[in-house]
Amino acid sequence: MSGLFSLERHRALVTGANTGIGQAIAVALAGQGARVTCAGRRSCAETLAAIASACGQADEMLIDFADPLAARDIFADAGYSLLVNNAGIIRREDAVSHSEADWDAVIDTNLKAVFFTCQAFGRELIARKQEGAIVNIASLLSFQGGIRVPGYTASKHGIAGITKLLANEWAPHGITVNAIAPGYIATNNTEALRGDPERSRQILERIPAGRWGRPEDIGGTAAYLCSPAARYVTGTVLNVDGGWLAR
């Protein structure tokens, strides 16, 4: 495999790769030739099997990003040049009753862990004078307020900010840092919304594409941002939302 979109000779870490968007990203990167480590707090066996069936290369790492420093020691001399931070959680509750415990859990996993994982990755690449790419998973709630998800909204606004900050600092080292803001994607995180007929109808009426997104829609975008084709793309938050924010 060769060309602008090839990821051959790259090793990638994809967090939260056991299901949904993370799984689709891992499969997409492997499909372009990367050797992918599928990281998650639960087994990624299904993802590994999907990659193997397509003749790709993958391995597994059990890691829980509820500990924001969980990845601090995994990059040293490990050969990673690509990082996709997808692991995340959500807690739904009215703002007036959103607990400190839920706030801390969401911020720790969705924001603090992402920053310190990026820090460990970037530190290793800079020390080795190696170029690389980071893709963070943001959200439409990096731009909007949402309803009943205060911790999640704060964390995703934060992802947009640290993506731009790291892009500014690490561009001279040949490390691109971008984020993807998925729209309404059919995953476990949106199961409650899809199960509410009225809310689902309202959402679909606003999406110009007329459908819920699929995890594969995000996988292809991540593969692009990791590829040589996106070498001059950094500091961007790319909406993949079927036109939601343009409406």
Average pLDDT, the chain: 96
Say whether pLDDT at 1 is over 80: no
Instruction: Identify the active-site residue in 80, 152, 184, 224.
Output: 152
Residues 106-152 have pLDDT tens digits of 999 999 999 999 999 999 999 999 999 999 999 999 999 999 999 99
Beta bridge partners of residue 213, listed in sequence order: 185
Distance of CA 211 to the CA centre of its chain: 21
Structure confidence at residue 2 as a pLDDT band (50, 70, 90): low
Residues 31-49 have pLDDT tens digits of 999 999 999 999 999 999 9
Task: Give how far Cα 37 sits from Cα of 12, 195, 225, Å.
Answer: 6, 33, 18
Please tell me the predicted confidence (pLDDT) of residue 138.
Answer: 98
Residues 185-229 have pLDDT tens digits of 999 878 888 999 999 999 999 999 999 999 999 999 999 999 999
Structure confidence at residue 73 as a pLDDT band (50, 70, 90): very high
Q: One-letter amino acid identity for 219?
A: G
Structure tokens at 152: 């999640």
pTM: 0.96
Choosing among 2.60.40.10, 3.40.50.450, 3.40.50.720, 3.40.50.620, the CATH entry for 11-239 is 3.40.50.720
Please tell me the predicted confidence (pLDDT) of residue 11.
Answer: 98
- 152 catalytic per annotation: yes
Please tell me the predicted confidence (pLDDT) of residue 4.
Answer: 95
**Burial of 128 from C-beta contacts in 10 A (0-12 / 13-18 / 19+):** middle
